[in-house]
Amino acid sequence: MPDQPKYQRRKEDRPQEIADAAFAAFAENGYAATRIDDVAKRAGVSKGLTYLYYKTKEDLFKAVVKNVVVRRVDALIGDVESTDLSSEAFIRGPLLSFMKKVPGSPIAIVIRLLISEGPRHPDLVDYYYENVVARGLGAITKFIERGVERGEFRREALEHQPHLFLAPMMLSIIWRLIFAEKQLNTDQLMESQVDMLLTQLRA
Amino acid sequence: MPDQPKYQRRKEDRPQEIADAAFAAFAENGYAATRIDDVAKRAGVSKGLTYLYYKTKEDLFKAVVKNVVVRRVDALIGDVESTDLSSEAFIRGPLLSFMKKVPGSPIAIVIRLLISEGPRHPDLVDYYYENVVARGLGAITKFIERGVERGEFRREALEHQPHLFLAPMMLSIIWRLIFAEKQLNTDQLMESQVDMLLTQLRA
Amino acid sequence: MPDQPKYQRRKEDRPQEIADAAFAAFAENGYAATRIDDVAKRAGVSKGLTYLYYKTKEDLFKAVVKNVVVRRVDALIGDVESTDLSSEAFIRGPLLSFMKKVPGSPIAIVIRLLISEGPRHPDLVDYYYENVVARGLGAITKFIERGVERGEFRREALEHQPHLFLAPMMLSIIWRLIFAEKQLNTDQLMESQVDMLLTQLRA
Amino acid sequence: MPDQPKYQRRKEDRPQEIADAAFAAFAENGYAATRIDDVAKRAGVSKGLTYLYYKTKEDLFKAVVKNVVVRRVDALIGDVESTDLSSEAFIRGPLLSFMKKVPGSPIAIVIRLLISEGPRHPDLVDYYYENVVARGLGAITKFIERGVERGEFRREALEHQPHLFLAPMMLSIIWRLIFAEKQLNTDQLMESQVDMLLTQLRA
DNA sequence: GATGAATGAGGATTCATTCAT
DNA sequence: TATGAATGAATCCTCATTCAT
């Protein structure tokens, strides 16, 4: 099943088209400043149709925010679980590469939206915690355990909080959300951190 | 229950009272969802008075956001520059202690506001970059240089991006902004990072 | 008494209906004292709909004021240019009759609005000068020239400012705008003036 | 009693200072767009003081509008009644000269205000009719009668409406109120009219 | 399903007016 | 008297939502 180009008109997938348009609009203007009219215009449909699929603006928001990240996280977790690379090779390869892409990806936008709107949508936050964060951290933990079992990592590595891997990525995300590209080599930041952490973890 | 007089006049600093109320309101609801009426009510004044001191909602927002952080950053930078502790002692002591407090402090709120509203207020972002970020990073850099000169740090430490010190703090900030206290020992996170970094920096 | 349906949709020309209502409201209360809500109520629509067709109150004002006069002036100028009456017959007939009607017509209202609001809407004033005044005076001048060529008027008539024809009409307009019908025979005023002027112009 | 310069501080005549400032403000911005704050600032007093002398904005408006014209009309009527010039000399001299000055004088402003705000202030209009218009027309009528008695004017002159003298002045006033100086020789307009009328009136 | 005209509650802002000092 | 901080009703304008077609 090849990917369809995103904004091509497909009568059969209007809800998705609308969700995509909405995501773009929310990304650009935030939740409050996005008008349903804008979303409809972007999606090339009428305002009324938006309401056919999404009962309220909030519904639309939640649907959009959920649907964006889960697809990606699923893929990454799948990778983690099925890789046959050595732990270090996986970290320096696919994981690092993924992390480098995040600050410029829709995930960063979702983080912005969660930070802005989360307090007004606790169920959305719960959803994220369960479906993204908990699962992601679980996968990393399992991955480290596997490294320990294989003798690649020291036993003490298990005590290590996996969050440290993610910290420079998060800094990079926030930096770019606020300051755009202003003078920060985010890639190098993540590489240095991985170097440091691997030095510590190595058996 | 005596009637409250309609016209209250107080000696205190009304603009500051209003700014404080506004900060609380923005913190709770974000910029867009905060009504000027709310701010006024919180400050115990009428809507009109708010407009006497701040020409627009945006003015109020900017005034509030600026006034919150600068005071704190000034203090910290002062500490960095005037400390007579050894570099490591300063990092493990005052700096770590400051960083631990940030995720629960108004600074975190300001970061939330910058992430949410920054794109609509570029001058505010610029202000932050110049007055907070650039100065903060400058202070850290100077501090590392001093450590090198004193023979406490290796010469290569200079190549290190100071951002790595801040990364776990930022992760902690964001974590708490989104998930509140949910299962993350942010203090330990920052300590581990400091340990790792000092190991690398030490001469 | 059956409930009125909440959503009325009519085939008629809503923008024009709103403009008509607005003209009536502005005529009655002036620009500043007219609330958009009043206009909407008069037009039998909601406030919001007014804004669908006219972006701001000022837009509505300008649209309304333009649309009232131009139709009438076009008609009059057409008459002047196509008449086959003798010059004097035309002046005593159609022109006098037109001038007599003006003080009680929407044109008088427009003049009131221009006097009141003109200084705050220079482009509207320019519009009037070009589309109404300049064209009107041009037509009168051409008409006098034609009278001279035909030998009906003396050659010196060309030096005459055509404004003198209009002066009593303007006095009548203003009189009625301020004092309503109070003791002034405006028709006779204009007739006397026309008599006097024709005496002077006649060959 | 020499005139005091208008805006000099005189503790003893605050009400007049405020009225003068108010007139200037109303002249510039119209009634609705004039803020009491502006008036106070112009007068160099506090907003509160304005309310000490004038209970409401409307009071202030009426006071101001009344006081401006009456002084001048009184003077003119006095001239008419006491002149020893021949009728024609008086008309061509002091009267014409007065009429020429009106379009650029505060009287024109008052006319603007009456046209704009009159409908909302019928008592103001009545005041004007009685104190300015009726008296003015009375004086002109009496003046013509005098001319007839003296044999300067034909008996039929009495049937003539004195308004015709004023018509070009009114056109000039309105023209300047709307179009400022744009291409109209208002002086010549009034002279031509006076010529015409005198030709008719002369015995 | 699809449209977009129509609604009206909600919120920013202004400014006449009041009154403590 | 004189001040100007304080009030809140009034009004413009926006936009989520509804519904006739």
Residue D143 is part of a domain; what is its CATH number? 1.10.357
Question: In the structure, how far is the CA atom of residue C7 from the C1' atom of nucleotide F20, in angstroms?
Answer: 8
Predicted confidence at residue B10, as pLDDT, reads 67
Predicted confidence at residue B4, as pLDDT, reads 61
User: Which of A61, A178, A187 would best serve as a mutation to test chain B binding (most B beta carbons within 10 A)?
Assistant: A178
Together in a domain, B88 and B156: yes
Which range, of A9-23, C1-15, C189-203, averages the lowest pLDDT?
C1-15
Q: CB of D92 within 8 A of CB of D147?
A: no
**pLDDT 10s digits, A95-135:** 999 999 999 999 999 999 999 999 999 999 999 999 888 88
Together in a domain, A5 and A37: yes
Q: CB of B152 within 8 A of CB of B91?
A: no
Q: Is strand E in 7 Å reach of the CB of A51?
A: yes
Q: Which residues contact B16 (CB under 8 A, 6 or more apart)?
A: none
Average predicted confidence (pLDDT) for chain C: 89
User: Which of A28, A113, A137, A174 would best serve as a mutation to test chain B binding (most B beta carbons within 10 A)?
Assistant: A174
Query: Where is the domain boundary, D55, D74, D90?
Result: D55
Predicted confidence at residue A11, as pLDDT, reads 61
Per DSSP, the residues of A100-147 read HHGGGSHHHHHHHHHHHHGGG-HHHHHHHIIIIIIHHHHHHHHHHHHH
pLDDT-flagged residues of chain D (< 70): 1-12
Predicted confidence at residue D71, as pLDDT, reads 74
Q: CB of D100 within 8 A of CB of D42?
A: no
Q: CB of D117 within 8 A of CB of D29?
A: no
- Smallest Cβ distance to A118: which of B164, B178, B193? B178
Task: Determine the structural domain holding residue B23 and report its residue range.
Answer: 1-55
Together in a domain, A20 and A88: no
Together in a domain, B5 and B34: yes
Per DSSP, the residues of C149-160 read HTTSB-GGGGGS
**B window 46-65: Cβ near strand E (< 7 A):** 47-48, 51, 55-58
Predicted confidence at residue A3, as pLDDT, reads 41
Q: What is the separation, in whole angstroms, between the first and last Cα of chain B?
A: 71
d(CA A5, CA A185): 32
- Smallest Cβ distance to B170: which of A125, A171, A179? A171
Q: Which residues contact C197 (CB under 8 A, 6 or more apart)?
A: C160, C164, C165, D196
Together in a domain, D2 and D25: yes
Residue B23 is part of a domain; what is its CATH number? 1.10.10.60
Helix-, strand-, coil-residue percentages of chain B, each rounded to 5: 75, 0, 20
**3-state DSSP assignment of residue A202:** strand
Question: Contacts by D43-52 with C-beta closer than 8 Å and gap 24+?
Answer: D43/D14, D43/D17, D43/D18, D44/D7, D44/D9, D44/D17, D45/D14, D45/D17, D45/D18, D49/D14, D49/D18, D50/D18
Together in a domain, C27 and C76: no
Q: How many structural domains comprise chain D?
A: 2
Together in a domain, C163 and C65: yes
d(CA B79, CA B98): 11
Residue A138 tokens, joined = 């679980």
Is the model's pLDDT at C3 over the cut of 60?
A: no
Together in a domain, D68 and D125: yes
Residues facing residue A202 across a β-bridge: A153
Question: In the structure, how far is the CA atom of residue C44 from the C1' atom of nucleotide E8, in angstroms?
Answer: 14
What residue of D is the nearest CA neighbor of C166?
A: D171
Together in a domain, B75 and B160: yes
**Which run of H or of E encompasses A55?**
none
**pLDDT 10s digits, C154-177:** 988 777 778 999 999 999 999 999
**pLDDT 10s digits, D156-176:** 877 777 899 999 999 999 999
**pLDDT 10s digits, B161-199:** 789 999 999 999 999 999 987 778 899 999 999 999 999
Query: Where is the domain boundary, A21, A37, A55?
Result: A55
- Smallest Cβ distance to A163: which of B115, B178, B184? B184
Together in a domain, C96 and C179: yes
Q: Is B184 on the interface with A (CB under 8 A)?
A: yes
Predicted confidence at residue C71, as pLDDT, reads 74
Q: CB of A154 within 8 A of CB of A148?
A: yes
Predicted confidence at residue B11, as pLDDT, reads 60
**Which run of H or of E encompasses C22?**
helix C14-29
The proportion of chain C whose per-residue pLDDT surpasses 90, expressed as a percent, equals 67
d(CA C30, CA D120): 10
User: For residue A37, which nucleotide's C1' is closest to its Cα?
Assistant: F15
d(CA D83, CA D93): 11
Together in a domain, D141 and D61: yes
Q: Is D10 on the interface with C (CB under 8 A)?
A: no
Together in a domain, D121 and D142: yes
Predicted confidence at residue B97, as pLDDT, reads 93
Instruction: Tell me the average pLDDT across A145-160.
Output: 87
Residues facing residue B202 across a β-bridge: B153
Nearest-Cα distance to chain A for B57, in Å, is: 15
d(CA D88, CA B27): 81
Q: Is A117 on the interface with B (CB under 8 A)?
A: yes
Do B179 and A116 make contact, defined as CB atoms within 8 angstroms? no
Q: Is A198 on the interface with B (CB under 8 A)?
A: no
Tally of CB atoms within 10 A around B103: 23
What residue of D is the nearest CA neighbor of C193?
A: D164
- How confident is the prediction along chain B (203 residues), in pLDDT tens digits per residue? 445 667 776 667 899 999 999 999 999 999 999 999 999 999 999 999 999 999 999 999 999 998 887 777 788 788 888 888 999 999 999 999 999 999 999 999 999 999 999 999 999 999 999 988 988 888 888 888 999 999 999 988 777 778 999 999 999 999 999 998 777 889 999 999 999 999 988 87
C121-144: b or e for each residue (b if 16 or more CB lie within 10 Å)?
beebbebbeeebbebbbebbeebb
Do B160 and A192 make contact, defined as CB atoms within 8 angstroms? yes
The proportion of chain A whose per-residue pLDDT surpasses 90, expressed as a percent, equals 65
Predicted confidence at residue C4, as pLDDT, reads 61
Query: Where is the domain boundary, C55, C70, C87?
Result: C55
Q: Which of D108, D116, D95 is nearest to D197 (CA)?
A: D95
| B183 conformational bin, left if phi > 0, alpha if psi -120 to 50, beta if neither | left
Q: Which residues contact A16 (CB under 8 A, 6 or more apart)?
A: none
- Smallest Cβ distance to A178: which of B33, B114, B197? B114
Q: Dihedral, CA atoms, B190, B193, B194, B200, nearest 10 degrees?
A: -170
Is the model's pLDDT at C120 over the cut of 70?
A: yes
Residue B83 tokens, joined = 């400390």
- Burial (CB count within 10 angstroms: exposed 0-12, middle 13-18, buried 19+), residue A159: exposed
Q: Is A7 on the interface with B (CB under 8 A)?
A: no
φ, ψ dihedrals at A202, nearest 5°: -55, 140
Residue B187 tokens, joined = 């203090």
d(CA A18, CA C89): 70
Q: Dihedral, CA atoms, C31, C32, C36, C38, nearest 10 degrees?
A: -80
